[in-house]
Amino acid sequence: MKTTNGDQCEYCGCEEWRVSSTLIQCAGCETVWGRVNGQWVVDPETMPVDALRAAQGRCAAHAAGPLLDEWEQLPGDVRCDPELAGLARAMAALSSAMENPTV
């Protein structure tokens, strides 16, 4: 059943919804919410990519500092190991993003 109740989707602003007893889907971006323990919870697999990345960033940001601290505590020969070159590039990118956020 499609309905309009004045509530806007937080991702696309659409006011049209497909509603069932357990699911609500935005008719615009097709993001789905379901009932979990009495609360409406968004299904991250249906979120628009930009919104998903922002939510992931908020959830993971608290772990970035300790992760970088642990990386910096490793001996230099470990951090410079050619087998860990991909990890070293990822850690450098993470460090740069933490020091110079673009959002």
Q: Are residues 28 and 53 in the same domain?
A: no
Q: Are residues 25 and 14 in the same domain?
A: yes
Q: Are residues 55 and 90 in the same domain?
A: yes
Domain that holds residue 40: 2-46
Residue 7 pLDDT > 60:
yes
pLDDT, average across residues 48-67: 79
Q: Are residues 93 and 58 in the same domain?
A: yes
Residue 1 pLDDT > 60:
no
Q: Are residues 68 and 30 in the same domain?
A: no
Q: Are residues 65 and 86 in the same domain?
A: yes
Report the alpha-carbon distance of residue 95 to residue 101 in Å, rounded.
10
Asked if residue 103 belongs to a domain, the reply is: no
Lowest-pLDDT range, 30-39, 53-62, 77-86? 53-62
Q: Are residues 94 and 55 in the same domain?
A: yes
Asked if residue 73 belongs to a domain, the reply is: yes
Residue 87 pLDDT > 90:
yes
Number of H helices, E strands in the chain: 3, 5
Total number of domains in the chain: 2
pLDDT of residue 90: 93
Share of the chain above pLDDT 70, in %: 92
Q: Which of 97, 14, 44 has its CA nearest to residue 2?
A: 14
Asked if residue 88 belongs to a domain, the reply is: yes
Residue 58 pLDDT > 80:
no
Share of the chain above pLDDT 90, in %: 26
pLDDT of residue 85: 94
Residue where a domain stops, chosen among 46, 62, 80:
46
Report the alpha-carbon distance of residue 19 to residue 21 in Å, rounded.
7
